Amino acid sequence: MSLGLGVAQLAAPDTVRRISGVDDSATSRAVVPLVGARELVHAAGLLTSRRKGAWAWTRVAGDAMDLAALGMAMAHRGGSRRRRLLAVTGAVAGITVLDLLTAVQATRTKDIGSAQARGTRKGGSMELTATTTIRKPATEVYAFWRDLENLPTFMAHLEQVRTTGERTSHWTADAPFGKDVGWDAEIVDEVPGDRIAWRSIGNADVPNTGTVRFVPAPDGVSTEVHVALTYDIPGGTIGKAVAKYFGEEPHQQLDDDLRRLKQVLETGEVVRSDGAPWGKQARKEFPQRPAQPLSDAELAKGAQA
């Protein structure tokens, strides 16, 4: 609607002024196109930004401005102009209510996770949970996960996990998680075919713990995988990089990780398409390259990345 209003106010300001009953004022000649330009800014923000909540609030602010301007105009007019002004003011008031509701809702939805997984951030600690069902026996899913070096094949933020002892390992994060972030971890609890729990040890930049439970599904064939991760996100550059990496919907990263785990265990590898050719990074690539085959150059470049 911002788009339509903005274009109308810029392209046909006189018509807009007549409908609004302010066609007698010189001030309105300047104000109407300005308001039009402002509407286009709302439209651009709402259509392109990922932070729709904030942009919806800019519309509420704009509505308040408009109502004030209309009130001022009304105080000085009578007759049919006043009637037209009243009608427009009524419409703007209605729109304001809608915008207010939208803005409140858009700001709130950010806090609501999907039914499948939730991420909550309390203070510096972020807790993520997710679950999936894999059509393989629990022993097999457990064995794959227990070989921690397999984790980077499906967990987007991991570059490498190297086993350093019976229960210890060294983990390296991928670039988007923060450059050159590495830490040691130890398994603190494991029951074959049932669960694994681990935690970072030593001087980790982002202290973290994780638990995965393997539960036989009611179908007698599949295994439910329940994962819970906790990150103690520090201040400073690394904290910022981690927060940026997880973005507004941190649980989605883990959802996608588990989808890939399922692909690897059920079909043998992470599924690729022309639009999302690099497996682990599918979501990061959105909007994607077109769904048309890759050139040799693109293929070579992607293989290095």
Partner 1 sequence: MRANTWAGRNKVEVRDVPDPKILNRRDAIVRITSTAICGSDLHLVDGYVPTMQDGDVMGHEFMGEVIEVGSGVDPTRLRVGDRVVVPFPIACGACAACAAELYSCCENSNPNAGIAEKMFGHPTAGIFGYSHLTGGFAGGQAQYARVPFADVGPLKIESDLTDEQVLFLSDILPTGYMGAEMCDIQPSDVVAVWGAGPVGQFAMDSARVLGAAKVIAIDKEPYRLQMAERAGHIPVNFDEVDVRSRLLELTGGRGPDKCIDAVGLEATHGSAHIAAYDRIKQAVRSETDRPHALRQAIMSCRSGGVVSVIGVYGGLLDKFPAGAWMNRSLTLRTGQCHVQRYMKPLLQRIERGELDPTRIITHTMPLDDAERGFDIFKNKRENCEKVVLKP
Query: What does the binding site for partner 1 look like in residue numbers (CB under 8 A)?
Result: 114, 116, 133, 135, 219, 222, 252, 255-256, 259, 262-263, 266-277, 279, 282-283, 286-296, 299
Number of CB atoms found within 10 A of residue 107's CB:
15
Q: Which is nearer to partner 1, 202 or 287 (CB)?
A: 287
Q: How far is the CB of 154 from partner 1 (least distance, A)?
A: 12
Q: Which is nearer to partner 1, 41 or 270 (CB)?
A: 270
Peptide bond into 287 cis (omega under 30): yes
3-state secondary structure of 270: coil
Q: How far is the CB of 99 from partner 1 (least distance, A)?
A: 17
Q: How far is the CB of 233 from partner 1 (least distance, A)?
A: 23
What phi and psi, each to the nearest 5 degrees, are found at residue 8? -60, -45
- Do residues 192 and 139 lie in contact, with contact meaning Cβ atoms separated by under 8 Å? yes
Q: Which is nearer to partner 1, 45 or 275 (CB)?
A: 275
- β-strand pairing of 182-191 with 195-201: antiparallel
Q: Which is nearer to partner 1, 78 or 287 (CB)?
A: 287
Q: How far is the CB of 288 from partner 1 (least distance, A)?
A: 5
Beta bridge partners of 169: 163, 185
Q: How far is the CB of 190 from partner 1 (least distance, A)?
A: 27
- Do residues 186 and 167 lie in contact, with contact meaning Cβ atoms separated by under 8 Å? yes
Q: Which is nearer to partner 1, 163 or 273 (CB)?
A: 273
